[in-house]
Structure 1
Amino acid sequence: MSKFDSKKVMPRYSFLAILMTLVAITVVGKTLYIMTAKRAFWEEVADRVKVDSLKTLPIRGNILSCDGQLMASSLPQYNIFMDFVALREAKKDTLFEQKLDSICMGLNAIFPDRSAEEFKKHLMEGFEKNKRHWPVWNRRINYSTFSEVKSLPVFNLSKNQSGFHWDEHNARKLAYGSLAGRTIGKMYGAKDTAQCGLELSYDSLLRGEEGIRHRRKVLNKYLDIVDTPPVNGADIVTTIDVSMQDLAERALLKELRLINANVGVAIVMEVKTGDVKAIVNMTKCADDDYHEIKNHAISDLLEPGSVFKTASIMVALDDGVVDTTYRVETAGGVWPMYGREMKDHNWRRGGYGMLTLPQTLMVSSNIGVSRIIDDHYHNTPEKFVQGIYRLGLADDLHIPLQGASPARIRMPKKDARGKQYVNWSKTTLPWMSIGYETQVPPISTLTFYNAIANGGKMMAPRFVKAVMKDGVVIKEFEPVVLRERIAKETTIKKITTILEHVVSQGLGKKAGSQSFLVAGKTGTAQISKGAAGYKSGQMNYLLSFAGFFPAYEPRYSCIVCIQKSGLPASGGGMSGVVFHDIAEGIMAQSLKLEAADARDSLSILIPQVKNGNMLAASYVLDHLGIKQRSNWDGSYLNGNPIWGHALESGGKTIALHRVPEVDKNTMPDVHGMGAKDAVFLIESRGVKVKLNGRGKVMEQSIGAGQHIKKGMVCSLRLG
């Protein structure tokens, strides 16, 4: 007989079915009720525990020198805040009140500008108002300072427990200080926006793309959830050579301080490509020192003076109205020109008398050049100006820097009847021919001289040559030819010879070198003071020297412009000296000797390799022809050091071992390193170094692994 009693079991099943149906109906009913009647309430609750569409800032790209050295990069900076609501929710408010005095004393030690009492008053104000985003300090701080604040009581807890939180920003840092600072550019720190220079011109590439994230409160904790990740900015590779830039800046500053000048400019350009290898812009400031506050090289529209005479003579030679045997009378140094007197610089000493055309440039005769041009173009001045335009001096060079302006060279215009000039006087042409009545920025003058050095081919000045992303070139900027030929080949050869004689025999001797030939032209011009003209008290002068070197196989062109008040004032004797120092320094740097040539029969086959940057050691060993083994991939040229030590591996092989780099807040072990590597490693962590002795590091006063504190000084004994 079956034990199953349907009369007892089925009612139970029916009861369960009915119960589950009622529960389901209740759930569905409640759901519909929440979705309709309570919808507004729950949406308001959801809004309190979520934040949508928060921006995630990308990392700004780096600006690199021509050989990959870091010139500008982004470092983290922080704004720090307290969330007192989160503090209370985590039930740490009592702990905060207990530790408040310790916190404030610690903040005072980190930020001495505000007392502990002021910090206490400020924090208690936010605590009493129950603020979610109360600033602990009202300015951005660097990572080192941030780490100190984060180690204080309560602040050292997690965000959700302490309420201590922060906004991270990318602050721009120039690796070489003010070197080429105006050209590299600046950022508005508070806004993270570009202010000037390449930072501004290439902002769209450097900036990258912002990401989007949202915040959700889950289990009483806020979580950041990335919707769209940020795209970091690309790196730009400039044409700037750090060593040339440093050399040009030091040479210019030396002369500016010596003669107490107001403004100084120096530009170095590679002849074949138009690459700007160095660009210096110095202005004397209120602190009686020189700083880069304006890019004078591209924006100063001043009358260039005698460096313009080269262009005037080239027009005459190219048009065939004169040749190098042409002679002109300059008399006693004073010549009447349509009611005005044209004077040579030596008019008080009797002038130059009869001169040949090359001699007019060699001695920079105002009368000689102006008479040649006026005699042949007086009735058709537009033909002369067209010749100047043909040389490219008035071209828009499309400089990728804010404030750049092309030269302003007036073209003669006649009235509606075509009988007389409306913007021209009889004296305009003579004075224009010697560098007045025009406005030419230094970069345009240099581009013209660079074209002469390049056999007549005019190259556009190039400041950026590539864009890189993650070490891969994604875009290249090729050299741009503005004009295939600015003058006839014979004209270029003749003017090159004349310019070389200006330096070897004429007024430009101080720009020359005993080691190689230099070609160039001096310039000394009075600077007009606006409406006051040239007769407003003490005179200001623009002193220039523009040229190229070596004269007959040119590699680099250079211009030096100095603005100063009062006499003495000499383009050759002041700007020429700076040109000389730059040219000799660059040519000395280019004397590359093969390391392998240093080996002889007495050389040590396996040299001793100090601890430190193993990439640098690998580079030298390669050039000495010594085999090596290493546990990494990379090259010395990428600029990123790899730290480690070397061991002789038997025979003629050296084993290079990479050692993991310690945390930035920890003192590294620099024993066995050379002074350069040791100082770099320690000072990159904010610790000052004192050296004693020579050789490799034998002792360090702060032990390896010790936590670094602000204001530490480490003494190194070398032996």
Structure 2
Amino acid sequence: MKSRTYNRKKILIIFLGFLGLVTVLTARLVYLMVFEADYYQKKAETLHEREREIKAARGVIADANGTALAVNKTVCTVSVIHSQIRDSGQVIEVLSRELGMDAADVRKSVEKVSSMEKIKTNVDKKVGDRIRGYELEGVKVDEDYKRYYPYEELASKVLGFTGGDNQGIVGLEVMYEEYLKGINGTILTVTDARGVELEGEEENRREPIPGSTLYTSLDYNIQSFAQQAAENVMEEKQADKVAVILMNPQDGGILAMVNVPEFNLNEPFVLNTADSGANLGEEQKQDALNQMWRNGCINDTYEPGSTFKIITTAACLEEGVVKLSDTFSCPGYAVVEDRKIRCHKVGGHGAETFVQGIQNSCNPVFINIGLRLGAEKFYDYFSQFGLLGMTGIDLPGEAGTIMHKKEDIGLVELATMTFGQSFQITPVQMATTVCSLINGGRRVTPHLGVRVADADGNVLEEFAYPKGEKILSEETSATLDMLLESVVSEGSGKNAAIPGYRIGGKTATSQTLPRSANKYISSFIGFAPADNPKVLGMVVIYNPQGVYYGGTIAAPVLRDIFDNVLPYLGITAT
């Protein structure tokens, strides 16, 4: 009896346990079927849907007048769906022939068991259309976009380019990626359990949203004038490279930025050398490509030489340590501590006023006034004028100034700094600072981006750039303009003069490090009209052969550019 009672209890416990388990499972099933039905319905649909991406058209980059500098070219992406292929031999034969690919490589992709396998991207649209015409089962031809630059080398190091995924890599392309990239769309198709698309089922499409158009301050015509002039002088002087910047000194807008030799934006991975780097190893070739893409106007520093006398003049006039009527004597050198620092004129300039000193670009005059100012004040003005920081230009990779620490500036260092040696800045920093000193004394921010708009031209955002603090009085700025006009009309900048135009400017010839290499940088900064500057230009020629003086070879380049640009901008001769 005890045994029977015990067994009955065991059976009851087991029964109740199973009943509880069934109840829990039933409750769970009801919960999933009733309360979670939508979620699992979507999950099931997803298992039977194949998603293909529709690439968004990248936004156009345009100049100030709307001329398109970077656009899109329609290309195709060819893919295969393994489960839908009926005749793999025909697919392999057609694709290898039309795409110019090795049949063995095509076979690997065709025979790979996957939902979708890409065969080739960036296929010419005509080729894609031909492949589509074969109506091969399991072969998909989707239209895509490839970046295209209609003017090839124009402003290449400013515009930059995109990679295989159409994403910006350098220049404006990467700086304004957020606005240019757009939003990709999708195509959803329904498949059976084997992954074969079901006939009669409609495609579910989410259309792509194209990127915004970026309008810049660049001007195609001005960029073309400047680039042609730079190429001509580089060839004539057998120079290593030439940089040209043209800016609006009132607001900092970049009208042109040239770095020759430029490269073909439609073939950015082909070196712009005669042999295209055929004898270089992979690492060497990559280094050469990085150098080719480099925008020297913002990425590289140099000793500005005598163009920096503009900054020294502004600081000394503002501080009141020199007057226009002050007289000096130049024997051809200046002795500072134990150093004899020479003037470019070996025999010296003799007796001269400060006005004549800047016209003659006389080093001893600037050493004299720099010593009057003193190292501490000189450094303070260096900082006040914005030379210790970045310009804030909207391009990636801007280099900073290489400058002595304040406490390390002795008399010799101060003397050489007054005429632009023993420190380094970028060309864009030099051009920006001069703009800020001649425009009435307000620091500007150099920039290229102006606004973005949609495909219909509706403005989405206007870019605002900070108008910096007052760095120089209007009186000193006006005096500086007058002095620099006299440099062109009567002094070392005569080769930049254009009849009927009031042009101001300053020449420079600096020696690169090490000095023993005897390599020079010739440069000229000029602006017009001198009494109300509307455009500033800067020309830098690196390692010219033969005559290398800035007033002789750099000033005429800017004169030729201005000869075209000034009338184009509506600046008329008087």
| 1:264 counterpart residue number | 242
Q: Distance in 1 between matches of 2:523 and 2:377?
A: 27
For 2:543, what is the secondary structure of its paired residue? Answer: strand
Q: Closer, same or farther in 2 for the Cα pair 1:266/1:125, shift >3 Å?
A: closer
1:245 matched to 2:223? The reply is yes
Tell me which of 366, 390, 393 is aligned to 2:387.
393
Query: Post-superposition shift, 1:446?
Result: 1.2
Q: Deviations over 1:256-312 (max 9, x none)?
A: 110011121111112322211111112485339999622111122211111001111
Amino acid at match of 1:203: E
Q: Distance in 1 between matches of 2:89 and 2:434?
A: 73
| 1:276 counterpart residue number | 254
> TM-score, with normalisation over the residues of structure 2?
0.81
| 2:492 counterpart residue number | 507
Alignment of 1:510-659 (within 5 A): 510-528=495-513, 533-535=514-516, 538-564=517-543, 567-590=546-569
| 1:232 counterpart residue number | 210
For 1:80, what is the secondary structure of its paired residue? Answer: strand
1:403 matched to 2:397? The reply is yes
1:186 matched to 2:161? The reply is yes
| 2:24 counterpart residue number | none
Query: Post-superposition shift, 1:76?
Result: 2.5
For 2:508, what is the secondary structure of its paired residue? Answer: strand
Deviates more, 1:235-244 or 1:363-372: 363-372
Amino acid at match of 2:364: I
1:144 matched to 2:126? The reply is yes
1:412 matched to 2:406? The reply is yes
Alignment of 1:73-222 (within 5 A): 73-88=71-86, 93=87, 103=94, 108=97, 118-119=102-103, 133=116, 136=119, 138-151=120-133, 156-157=134-135, 162-188=137-163, 190-211=164-185, 214-217=188-191, 219-220=198-199
Q: Closer, same or farther in 2 for the Cα pair 1:144/1:509, shift >3 Å?
A: farther
Amino acid at match of 1:398: G
Q: Closer, same or farther in 2 for the Cα pair 1:591/1:381, shift >3 Å?
A: closer
Query: Post-superposition shift, 1:98?
Result: 7.0
| 2:267 counterpart residue number | none
Q: Deviations over 1:230-267 (max 9, x none)?
A: 43221111011110000100011100110011121111
Amino acid at match of 1:455: G
Q: Closer, same or farther in 2 for the Cα pair 1:130/1:475, shift >3 Å?
A: closer
8 Å contact 2:438–2:478 — kept in the other structure? no
| 2:286 counterpart residue number | none
Q: Distance in 2 between matches of 1:447 and 1:345?
A: 27
Q: Closer, same or farther in 2 for the Cα pair 1:313/1:98, shift >3 Å?
A: closer
1:305 matched to 2:287? The reply is no
Q: Distance in 2 between matches of 1:123 and 1:591?
A: 60
| 1:489 counterpart residue number | 474
For 1:162, what is the secondary structure of its paired residue? Answer: coil
| 1:345 counterpart residue number | 344
| 1:317 counterpart residue number | 317
| 1:633 counterpart residue number | none
For 2:468, what is the secondary structure of its paired residue? Answer: strand
Q: Distance in 1 between matches of 2:549 and 2:381?
A: 29
| 1:363 counterpart residue number | 360
Query: Post-superposition shift, 1:144?
Result: 2.8
Query: Post-superposition shift, 1:345?
Result: 1.5
For 1:186, what is the secondary structure of its paired residue? Answer: coil
Q: Distance in 2 between matches of 1:544 and 1:313?
A: 18
Query: Post-superposition shift, 1:396?
Result: 2.9
Query: Post-superposition shift, 1:66?
Result: 0.6
Q: Deviations over 1:322-380 (max 9, x none)?
A: 1001112211x133222222111121xx1212221112221111122112212x13xx4
Q: Distance in 1 between matches of 2:222 and 2:451?
A: 20
Q: Closer, same or farther in 2 for the Cα pair 1:354/1:558, shift >3 Å?
A: same
8 Å contact 1:59–1:170 — kept in the other structure? yes
Q: Distance in 2 between matches of 1:293 and 1:256?
A: 18
| 1:701 counterpart residue number | none
Q: Closer, same or farther in 2 for the Cα pair 1:126/1:495, shift >3 Å?
A: closer
Q: Deviations over 1:125-156 (max 9, x none)?
A: 666667764555x45222233223334xxxx3
1:444 matched to 2:422? The reply is no
8 Å contact 1:62–1:234 — kept in the other structure? yes
Q: Closer, same or farther in 2 for the Cα pair 1:462/1:124, shift >3 Å?
A: closer
Q: Closer, same or farther in 2 for the Cα pair 1:125/1:185, shift >3 Å?
A: closer
| 2:285 counterpart residue number | none
Q: Closer, same or farther in 2 for the Cα pair 1:144/1:575, shift >3 Å?
A: farther
Q: Distance in 1 between matches of 2:531 and 2:356?
A: 20
Q: Distance in 2 between matches of 1:592 and 1:567?
A: 35
Q: Closer, same or farther in 2 for the Cα pair 1:407/1:44, shift >3 Å?
A: closer
Q: Closer, same or farther in 2 for the Cα pair 1:583/1:131, shift >3 Å?
A: same
Q: Distance in 1 between matches of 2:61 and 2:154?
A: 13
More strand as a share of residues: 1
> TM-score, with normalisation over the residues of structure 1?
0.65
For 1:195, what is the secondary structure of its paired residue? Answer: coil
Amino acid at match of 2:71: S
8 Å contact 1:539–1:566 — kept in the other structure? no
Q: Distance in 1 between matches of 2:113 and 2:174?
A: 41
Q: Closer, same or farther in 2 for the Cα pair 1:288/1:317, shift >3 Å?
A: farther
Q: Closer, same or farther in 2 for the Cα pair 1:426/1:43, shift >3 Å?
A: closer
| 1:426 counterpart residue number | 411
8 Å contact 1:328–1:356 — kept in the other structure? yes
Q: Which runs of 5+ in 2 are unaligned?
A: 1-28, 192-196, 263-271, 277-288
8 Å contact 1:178–1:292 — kept in the other structure? no
For the aligned residue pairs, the C-alpha RMSD in angstroms reads: 3.2
Q: Closer, same or farther in 2 for the Cα pair 1:314/1:411, shift >3 Å?
A: farther
| 2:274 counterpart residue number | 287
8 Å contact 2:375–2:414 — kept in the other structure? yes
Q: Deviations over 1:174-206 (max 9, x none)?
A: 122121121112111x23221111111111111
Q: Distance in 2 between matches of 1:241 and 1:86?
A: 52
More helix as a share of residues: 2
Q: Deviations over 1:215-241 (max 9, x none)?
A: 322634675424x65432211110111
Q: Closer, same or farther in 2 for the Cα pair 1:179/1:165, shift >3 Å?
A: same
Q: Closer, same or farther in 2 for the Cα pair 1:321/1:127, shift >3 Å?
A: closer
Q: Closer, same or farther in 2 for the Cα pair 1:166/1:336, shift >3 Å?
A: same
Amino acid at match of 1:405: A
For 1:169, what is the secondary structure of its paired residue? Answer: strand
8 Å contact 2:185–2:207 — kept in the other structure? yes
8 Å contact 1:527–1:542 — kept in the other structure? yes
Q: Closer, same or farther in 2 for the Cα pair 1:458/1:100, shift >3 Å?
A: closer
Q: Deviations over 1:107-131 (max 9, x none)?
A: 64x556x5xxx53x55556666677
Q: Which has the larger radius of gyration?
A: 1
Q: Deviations over 1:620-668 (max 9, x none)?
A: xxxxxxxxxxxxxxxxxxxxxxxxxxxxxxxxxxxxxxxxxxxxxxxxx
Q: Report sequence identity in percent.
A: 24
For 2:500, what is the secondary structure of its paired residue? Answer: coil
For 1:250, what is the secondary structure of its paired residue? Answer: helix
Q: Deviations over 1:462-487 (max 9, x none)?
A: 2111111131011112453113x332
Q: Distance in 1 between matches of 2:308 and 2:48?
A: 71
Amino acid at match of 2:297: A
Alignment of 1:678-697 (within 5 A): none
Q: Closer, same or farther in 2 for the Cα pair 1:344/1:144, shift >3 Å?
A: farther
Q: Distance in 1 between matches of 2:458 and 2:531?
A: 38
